[in-house]
Amino acid sequence: MSTPIAKLMDLSGQTAVVTGGSRGLGLQIAESLGEAGAKLVLSSRKAGDLEEAAAILKAKGIDASWIAADASQPEDAKRVVAEAMQRLGRIDILVNNAGATWGAPAEDHPLEAWDKVMNLNIRSLFVFSQLVAQASMIPRRHGRIINVASIAGLAGNTHEMKTIAYNTSKGAVVNFTRALAGEWGEYGITVNAIAPGFFPSRMTKGLLAAVGEENMAAKAPLRRLGDDDDLKGAALLFASAAGKHITGQILAVDGGVSAIHGG
């Protein structure tokens, strides 16, 4: 007999760690998991942002705590996972959302900026995934890893997007997701990625100001940018039992941009 959909998508009793969870897309994903019943630990660099985010979630009845840390630093990642294990007892869901960008023409892109983007956008995903798998998911033969990629990782740059390191790192996230799914399926761990299109955020503020929100929205078949609800369903699908037979997949949430521009 099949399982009712409400039960499949219920995360009651589940636990989740969300990196970059203090604002923007990370906070939206955290809200989705928390509203479905998961107990959360958020992490990002700034304690003030985390405190504010946790307060927003708690006001919605969500059990959320936070740990300030720099995801690009392996020692900080170890501390986050160790403290989260102490608080939660186990980690069922890991959302690798922490990320950064840097705008510069490829011929002038600083090497130190390249390294900063790569360390946060892809190396930290490997570090966090490995630590969480070792501490909880592999021993328990269960886990859900959700990586936040981008449609920028599905195709090349345009003349408007001088973000060679960002695009390259997000392309790496796409294949990291596929490779890890192949290795860890035997442990009952699913690994999937969400590839957002353009959402108003601090990261996209400069580009949207230069190009114009209306012009950017016009590039999508749905003629709109992403909003505060558009990642919730995808995140919950990948985190819940409703997605238990989905792994190694990249889901673009972009208003159809990748459907017409490649990816």
CA distances, 51 to each of 43, 59, 68 (Å) = 10, 12, 9
Q: How far apart, in whole angstroms, are the C-alpha atoms of residue 116 and residue 216?
A: 27
Instruction: Annotate 176-203 with b (16+ C-beta within 10 A) or e (fewer).
Output: bbbebbeebeeeebbbbbbbbbbbebeb
* Cross-strand pairs, 110: none
The strand pair at 93-96 and 15-19 is best described as parallel
Q: Are 91 and 143 in contact (CB under 8 A)?
A: yes
Q: How far apart, in whole angstroms, are the C-alpha atoms of residue 24 and residue 33?
A: 15
Catalytic, 187? Answer no
CA distances, 6 to each of 139, 156, 237 (Å) = 28, 39, 12
Active-site residue (options: 166, 176, 184, 199): 166
The 8-class DSSP code of residue 187 comes to G
| Residues with catalytic roles | 166
